[in-house]
Amino acid sequence: MTDTPETPETAAPAITDTPPDRLSVNPRSEYHDWELLRRGVGIRFNGVERNNVEEYCLSEGWIRVAAGKSLDRKGNPLTIKLTGTVEAWYKS
């Protein structure tokens, strides 16, 4: 094997300690990222840690949570959008 220097194109992407601005647990969403979800993301909304968040956006300051046990016609949980202060961090 030859030792070739890694260029930015060939280097593995670095994992940062800041979660993305927007993330969703729904696999159909464009904001879904299995690797980040597997790592574990904690959400604090208005000072209270939440574990039932379906999607969040840090820059816009909102989260989506399931509205009870109601489902839409495709079998997905109905969600409501709550606005406030959103903080996200990696659990591991």
pLDDT tens-digit profile of 3-33?
555 555 555 455 568 899 999 999 999 999 9
Residues in the chain, how many?
92
pTM (2 decimals)? 0.77
User: For the chain, what is the mean pLDDT?
Assistant: 87
Buried/exposed 73-89: b ≥16 CB within 10 Å, e otherwise: eeeebebeebeeebebe
Tens of pLDDT, residues 53-62: 999 999 999 9
Report phi then psi at 38, rounded to 5.
-65, -35
Per-residue pLDDT at 92: 81
Beta bridge partners of 24: 32, 55
Place of tokens 């927007």: 22
Per-residue pLDDT at 69: 93
